[in-house]
Amino acid sequence: MGGIPPGIGESSGGVKMGDRVPESRPGCAITEAYTVYVACSTLCFAKHTLDSALRTIREMNFAKADVALHEDGPHLRPSDLTGDLTKIAQKLKAANVAIAAFHARFAQHDGLETRKQFRGVCRLGRLLTVPVVSVQAAAKGGDFDADVAKLQDWVSIAAAEGVILTVETNSSTLTADPLAAVELCKRAPGLGLTLDPSHYMTGEHGPQDYDKLYPFVKHVRLRDSAAKPESFQVRIGLGELEYGKIVTNLDQFRYDRALTVDVRDMPESAFPVEPEVRKLKYLLESLV
């Protein structure tokens, strides 16, 4: 099962991110030293407009949003961000929901135009005080050294705009191997990871041990998954992800950022997504 504790939405028996104080508000745990938020991906509401997705996230009382900027996605595209960003920033600010991260995917993995678009994503992040931008590593089997060189350059671009660059763990990229993900971070100082453990549950070699990744994790995206290839996204509680273990491991490295609910609203989904988004929200809030 997916590790749902008894009494969902209640305290989970000591799995905490530091010492909780009484003033903690819904969606985040305020500790003596650091804060962990429960955020929601705009991809949970991919059939909505971006305005509608952000409004729904706010109405569901999520602390923050995780905004997807996918070139082939339903909302903002990276190619929209190469000019004046003021109007786009104003529109996102008007949604009145803080942004935990940008989830960026480009039409091309590399090249001058992609680099220009990436810089635009980072500049928009600066305007909106978005702390993290996540991108994909090169495709599995790609040129590792070339990707290291690109990521070293992109870390510098991100740092100049005051944001942290991460690569997401993904079974179709170099990070399909947890050791390769660690090596990317070591060879591109300043690079972090966005942990998506589903890819280590249902990938070609899954389930895999990814404990070595935790020191590098700067963002997290979660759903429930099982080991079968067709079970990348299942109803909350029917999978095998151990959320309590993930939270405990993050706590060991004083993780102080977002846990994003990322139950995708996909055409092939066998179940309504919004109830699962709510269930995972309450589950994660019970853990932090």
Domain ranges for the chain: 28-287
Q: Residue 230: what pLDDT?
A: 83
Q: Is the pLDDT of residue 145 over 50?
A: yes
CATH architecture of the domain with residue range 28-287: Alpha-Beta Barrel (3.20)
Tell me the pLDDT band of 9, cut-offs 50, 70 and 90. Answer: very low
Beta bridge partners of 193: 167, 217
Tell me the pLDDT band of 12, cut-offs 50, 70 and 90. Answer: very low
What is the value of pTM for the model shown?
0.88
Mean pLDDT of the chain: 89
When mean pLDDT is compared over 143-152, 230-239, 263-272, the highest value belongs to 143-152
Q: If DSSP codes are grouped into helix, strand and coil, which group holds residue 27?
A: coil
| Number of Cβ atoms within 10 Å of the Cβ of 33 | 9
For residue 276, what are the contacts with CB-CB under 8 A and spacing of at least 6? 223, 224, 235, 236, 263
What average pLDDT does this structure show over 59-78? 96
Q: Which of 25-29, 190-194, 255-259 has the lowest mean pLDDT?
A: 25-29
Q: Which residues of 107-141 are buried (b: 16+ CB within 10 A; e: fewer)?
A: eebbeeebbebbbbbbbbbebbebbbbbbbbbebe
Q: Is the pLDDT of residue 92 over 60?
A: yes
Q: Is the pLDDT of residue 248 over 90?
A: yes
Query: How far is it, in rounded angstroms, from Cα 274 to Cα 107?
Result: 29
Query: How far is it, in rounded angstroms, from Cα 202 to Cα 278?
Result: 23
Q: Residue 34: what pLDDT?
A: 67
Which amino acid, residue 190? G
Q: Residue 227: what pLDDT?
A: 87
